[in-house]
């Protein structure tokens, strides 16, 4: 009888794993099944396991409750049925569970702690050199970012012509030495010279993805995994439906037991020449069936939004559609979609030639504050040209921009905001007013943001009774000036500079 190694004790929302040997004749990725069923007093869940190379199969599971669990693992991978038991301990202090939608427009960890998302994007940071990956993780550790978008598949695009450290499939890629920034668009989809077997995963590639998701988890960062993307020369964006589905199931089996996983079905779904709405809906069905933890799900656009009213979509994952108005559209999107509005692409701070990647740190910070005060969650990216050709947006590495430091300051303000977060006020036309988005409690907490406007003073009149503590926040210079206690109608002097906010809180 072969052995089953497994985790004896795991914390709530941690990852249980069982490892077993099994059949590996033929193609173990397609020829055999493996499933585990997990039972405790509170839940019973059945999940797929996966083949991890070298005759090894694994089943991963994320328990949502404390206490004793029993499991049974079986399938055609083995004649044996593996059973066992393990204990789930309370979550560690820094483990708040997966992120869920909270009060329609907001998010919170499963333990109730508000999750105020500040995202960034490094599309293929994990497929760069080990040294660069390490630097990326160090940069993230010292940042406000608590979500990162990245791809499982390598990326072929301007500034992205190098070879990834590994490929997701067994096989060999086209010769990349022919590529230049002039001709790269002639090599798209499945270019000539690629020879990959879309039914045989390169387990090293996926083991590395697992590892990266775990490292992000340790940093408290949500892994917004971009499962498919169109920036491709190897053909991974144009596989058959059968291979697509195989990939989806394999990835879900591998990583869904990590609590920090989000599913981004695609980056710029509307740029895939060969995928249809039926395809995206089929992938969504697969996630809903196979991801028993109900991680957050969305899909990111280039031009036209996917229909965010689809029931499987948990939140909007928006690339702005207008060059001039991005976060400013949030009010409309909230009304339209009644879901959290996550602004995954409102242009990147940088100086590359493309308009999506050359706004200033000031403009980026302004868009973040507009988003926050309108009750949405902004995302960052950075595209500064440099001699090494290492751009944060794709490769990770170091940050050169001026906005990330301001996000730390914003995050402090966010964390001081009562749950579940802010909603936009029907306010003066020339300010962005925000109140707490909680109809159950009358919390008198307001932020008035002035964006590019530079008033020398503003007048406020919230009510006649409440004593308010008023602070002037310089969102760019990152200062908070206490103005005192006010009641009734009052006037607050401002410095006549851009990017100021006024916070008005009931004195408790």
- Whole-angstrom CA distances from 397 to 41, 386, 478 are 45, 12, 25
Q: What is the token pair recorded at 452?
A: 């590019």
Closest CB to a copy of itself among residues 174, 500: 500
Q: What is the token pair recorded at 63?
A: 């328990």
**Shortest spacing between CB 382 and a copy of itself, in angstroms:** 13
DSSP state of 105: T
**Shortest spacing between CB 334 and a copy of itself, in angstroms:** 17
**Shortest spacing between CB 457 and a copy of itself, in angstroms:** 5
**Shortest spacing between CB 497 and a copy of itself, in angstroms:** 8
Q: Do the bridges between strand 222-228 and strand 261-266 make them parallel or antiparallel, or are there none, so unpaired? A: parallel
**Shortest spacing between CB 300 and a copy of itself, in angstroms:** 18
Cα torsion at 357, 362, 367, 369 (round to 10°)?
150
**Shortest spacing between CB 482 and a copy of itself, in angstroms:** 21
C-alpha angle with apex 503: 497 to 507, nearest 5 degrees? 145
Closest CB to a copy of itself among residues 35, 358: 358
Closest CB to a copy of itself among residues 78, 331: 331
89 closest CA partner among 61, 68, 112, 59: 68
* Site of interaction with a copy of itself (CB under 8 A): 323-325, 328, 350-356, 358-360, 363, 385, 428-431, 452-459, 496, 498
Q: Give 422's strand partners.
A: 436
**CA 363, CA 499: separation in Å to the nearest integer?**
10
Q: Do the bridges between strand 349-350 and strand 377-380 make them parallel or antiparallel, or are there none, so unpaired? A: unpaired
- DSSP letters for 471-505: EEEETTTTEEEEEEEE-SEEEEE--S-SSEEEEEE
Closest CB to a copy of itself among residues 286, 352: 352
Closest CB to a copy of itself among residues 215, 406: 406
- At residue 366, what are phi and psi to the nearest 5 degrees? -60, -45
Closest CB to a copy of itself among residues 65, 457: 457
**Shortest spacing between CB 172 and a copy of itself, in angstroms:** 33
**Other Cβ atoms closer than 10 A to 1:** 6
**Shortest spacing between CB 451 and a copy of itself, in angstroms:** 8
Closest CB to a copy of itself among residues 344, 431: 431
């Amino acid at each position: 009888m072969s052995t089953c190694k497994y985790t004896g004790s795991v914390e709530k929302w941690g990852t249980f794993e069982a490892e077993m040997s099994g059949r590996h004749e033929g193609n173990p990725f397609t020829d055999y099944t493996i499933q585990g069923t997990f039972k405790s007093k509170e839940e019973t869940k059945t999940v797929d396991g996966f083949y991890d190379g070298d005759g090894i199969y694994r089943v991963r599971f994320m328990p949502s409750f404390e206490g004793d669990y029993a499991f049974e693992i079986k399938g055609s991978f083995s004649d044996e049925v593996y059973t066992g038991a393990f204990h789930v301990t309370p979550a560690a202090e820094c483990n708040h569970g997966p992120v869920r939608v909270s009060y329609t427009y907001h998010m919170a960890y499963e333990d109730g702690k508000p999750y105020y998302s500040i995202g960034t994007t490094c599309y293929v940071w994990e497929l760069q050199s080990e040294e660069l990956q390490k630097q990326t993780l160090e940069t993230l550790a010292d940042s406000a970012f608590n979500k990162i978008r990245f791809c499982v598949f390598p990326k072929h695009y301007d500034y992205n012509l190098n070879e990834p450290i590994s490929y997701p499939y067994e096989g060999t890629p086209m010769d990349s030495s022919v590529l230049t920034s002039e001709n790269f668009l002639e090599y798209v989809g499945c270019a000539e010279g690629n020879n990959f077997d879309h039914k045989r995963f390169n387990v090293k590639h996926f083991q590395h993805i697992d590892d990266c998701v775990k490292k992000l988890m340790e940093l408290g960062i949500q892994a917004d995994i971009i499962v498919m993307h169109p920036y491709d020369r190897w053909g991974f964006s144009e596989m058959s439906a059968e291979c697509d589905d195989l990939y989806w199931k394999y990835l879900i089996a591998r990583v869904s037991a990590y609590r920090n996983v989000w599913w981004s079905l695609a980056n710029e779904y509307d740029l895939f020449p060969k995928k249809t709405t039926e395809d995206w809906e089929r992938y969504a069905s697969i996630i809903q069936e196979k991801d028993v933890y109900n991680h957050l799900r969305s899909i990111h656009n280039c031009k036209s939004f996917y229909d965010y009213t689809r029931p499987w979509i948990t939140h909007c994952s928006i690339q702005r559609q207008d060059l001039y108005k991005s976060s400013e559209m949030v009010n409309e999107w909230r009304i339209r979609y009644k879901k959290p509005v996550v602004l995954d692409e409102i242009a990147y701070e940088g100086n590359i030639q493309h308009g999506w990647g050359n706004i200033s740190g000031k403009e980026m910070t302004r868009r973040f504050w507009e988003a926050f005060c309108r009750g949405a969650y902004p995302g960052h990216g950075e595209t500064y040209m440099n001699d090494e050709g290492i751009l944060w947006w794709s490769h990770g590495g170091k940050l050169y921009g001026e906005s990330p430091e301001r996000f730390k300051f914003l995050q402090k303000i966010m964390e001081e905001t009562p749950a579940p977060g802010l909603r936009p006020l029907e306010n003066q036309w020339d300010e962005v007013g925000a109140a707490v988005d909680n109809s159950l409690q009358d919390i008198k907490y307001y932020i008035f943001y002035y964006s590019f406007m530079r008033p020398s003073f503003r007048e406020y009149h919230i009510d006649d009774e409440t004593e308010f503590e008023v602070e002037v926040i310089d969102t760019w210079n990152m200062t908070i000036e206490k103005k005192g206690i006010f009641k009734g109608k009052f006037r607050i002097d401002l410095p006549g500079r851009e990017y100021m906010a006024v916070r008005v809180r009931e004195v408790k």
